[in-house]
A and B are shown apart, each in its own frame.
Chain A
Amino acid sequence: MSFPLTFWDISLLLAITAIILLITSEMLSPYHGKINIRIDKKKLKNAAFAVSILFLATVAIRIVNIILAP
């Protein structure tokens, strides 16, 4: 029994999720689109930023790995 996904699979999943969330939060912004959807847009934006930061962290880890690799 082991978790079947690798670190890079999760990185890909985070990237896709971050893109979806960022686009959604931008489209729901009062300046650009619909404002009558009853969800907490601030929280959605925060979640989008959090997932994006997590994805960027995985990218940073990847870069560090490449640089430090013998």
Chain B
Amino acid sequence: MRYDYISYIIAILCLILAALLFMGYTQQIQITTGNKVTDLTIAMFSTILCSVLLGIGYMARPKKPTPTPLAAPLPSQQKPTETELMKEFKKLERTQLKPRLNLANTVSLVLFGTGIAALTASIWYSSSTLAFIGLGLTFWGALFLYIRTEKPIQENLIDKTASPSLATLNQMITELGFKGQAVYLPPEYLRDIESSKVFIAKQEKTRLPTPNQIQKQEKMFVTKPEGILLTPPGADLTNLFEKTLDTSFTRVDLQYFERNMPRLLVEDLEIAENVEIQAKENKVYVKIENSIYKKTHTETEKLLNVRGSLGCPICSALACAITKAAGKPVTIENHQTSEDGRTITTEYRLL
């Protein structure tokens, strides 16, 4: 069934009704015996309904893929000049930059426009009913335009983009034979204190190098002691945390982290539904419920090295934040996921 046609037909009926009522209002024809203002109000509502239905009809139309005509090969003597190419490029750029009207935008603009029209009409006819309608419509139209989300991103895009890089990281660590536990390094180990690095030793029970040793040879492969220095998967997420909190974790302590992170992750960034953080002696326990990274986390469960020591992006980001706030090296000690994958519990150890 073509829902767009039904929508168009009802819209046309609404428009006819509005036109008749308006003509009755202007006394060109006698169709109702009711109040003039009531007629005008119903006419206005019919017009709004008509616009909304037209928008819905347009949105509900079946979308057919239009085949792009293939460009005819140009003979060598008819090659486009540089000016022509620039013109084409600018034309294409203008088409791409043109703001797209979606349903939310259309409805908001219709509400706003009708509201302004009703306000003008209310002044013209000195009608308080129209003024109330006009103020209401203008306000809600403006509000809908203001509160719309600019760039909604589907949740499944996150794990589709994060998983391959984590898999590559896991493969690299495995094939190069780095068996040590990943240690998140605090700022004193790094030349750039705002960056985040993780150290994985070649052998399992290697002593953590001193800050001097790391600073002297801050490159990917460290020789004394033998190990690898990587940018952790959650490094950029930590930067986002800092930017949102408007501070650097290097300037705060663990209490600040414990107090502010749940609010940041739940309310500000909406990464998870609930977050509990508890710092005890040299351990930090984090419980994350229904995170947007839960699928990525489930994927990383299959990757031995990433799961065991580096952690999924959000666990890694929290490790980076903890190491910066505490000023001590941090390892991911224990990692548990509930059966349905909704709850992630991670235990971080400060060395």
Measured CB to CB, the residues of A under 8 A from B are: 1-5, 9-10, 13, 17, 21, 29-31, 35, 38-44, 47
**Measured between alpha carbons, how far is A19 from B130 in the docked complex, in Å?**
22
A40 touching B149, Cβ below 8 Å: yes
Flag if B126 contacts A5 (CB, 8 Å): no
Residue pair A4, B273 in contact (C-beta under 8 Å): no
A33 CB to nearest chain B CB (Å): 11
B135 contacts A by Cβ under 8 Å = yes
Beta-carbon nearest neighbor of A5 in chain B: B131
List A contacts of B75 (CB < 8 A): none
Residue B32 interfacial (CB < 8 Å): no
Contact A47 B136 (CB under 8 A): no
Q: Which residues of B contact A (CB under 8 A)?
A: 122-124, 126-128, 130-132, 135-136, 139, 143, 146-150, 152, 266-268, 270, 273
| Additional A-B contact list (17), CB under 8 Å, known A31-B266, A40-B150, A43-B146 | A1-B123, A1-B124, A4-B127, A4-B128, A5-B122, A5-B131, A9-B128, A9-B132, A13-B132, A30-B270, A30-B273, A35-B273, A39-B147, A39-B149, A40-B149, A42-B268, A44-B147
Chain B residue nearest in CB terms to A21: B143
Q: Are A38 and B149 in touch, CB under 8 angstroms?
A: yes
Partner pick for A3 among B122, B139, B268, CB 8 A cutoff: B122
A47-B149 contact in complex given A10-B135, A13-B136, A31-B266, C-beta closer than 8 Å: no
Looking at chain B's contact residues, the main secondary structure is helix
Instruction: Please pick, from A5, A38, A39, A40, the residue contacting B135 in the complex, using a CB distance under 8 A.
Output: A5
Interface residue from B126, B128, B149, B270 paired with A35 (Cβ < 8 Å): B270
Contact with A4, one of B126, B136, B139 (Cβ below 8 angstroms): B126
Total of A-B residue pairs, C-beta within 8 Å: 56
Contact of B123 among A2, A30, A39, A42 (CB under 8 A): A2
Q: Are B126 and A47 in contact (CB under 8 A)?
A: no
Contact at B128–A5, with CB atoms within 8 Å? yes
What residues of A have a CB within 8 angstroms of the CB of B135 in the complex? 5, 10, 13
Known: A1-B126, A38-B152. A43 touches B136 (CB 8 A): no
Chain B residue contacts of A40, Cβ below 8 A: 147-150
Q: Min CB distance, A25 to chain B, in Å?
A: 10
CB-defined A-B contacts under 8 Å, sample of 6? A3-B123, A4-B122, A5-B128, A38-B152, A42-B268, A43-B146
Which of chain B's residues has its CB closest to A42's CB?
A: B268
> Could you tell me if A17 and B139 are in contact, using CB atoms closer than 8 angstroms?
yes
* A41 contacts across to B, CB distance below 8 A: 270
Report A-chain residues with C-beta under 8 Å of the C-beta of B128.
4-5, 9
Asked if B148 and A4 make an inter-chain contact with CB atoms under 8 angstroms apart, the answer reads no
Q: Give the distance to chain B from A55, nearest Cβ to Cβ, in Å.
A: 13
Give the distance in Å from the alpha carbon of A35 to the alpha carbon of B273 in the complex: 8
CA distance in complex: A40, B124 (Å):
36
Given A13-B136, A47-B146, A47-B147, does the pair A4, B131 have CB atoms closer than 8 Å? yes
Q: Which of A2, A43, A44 contacts B126 (CB 8 A)?
A: A2
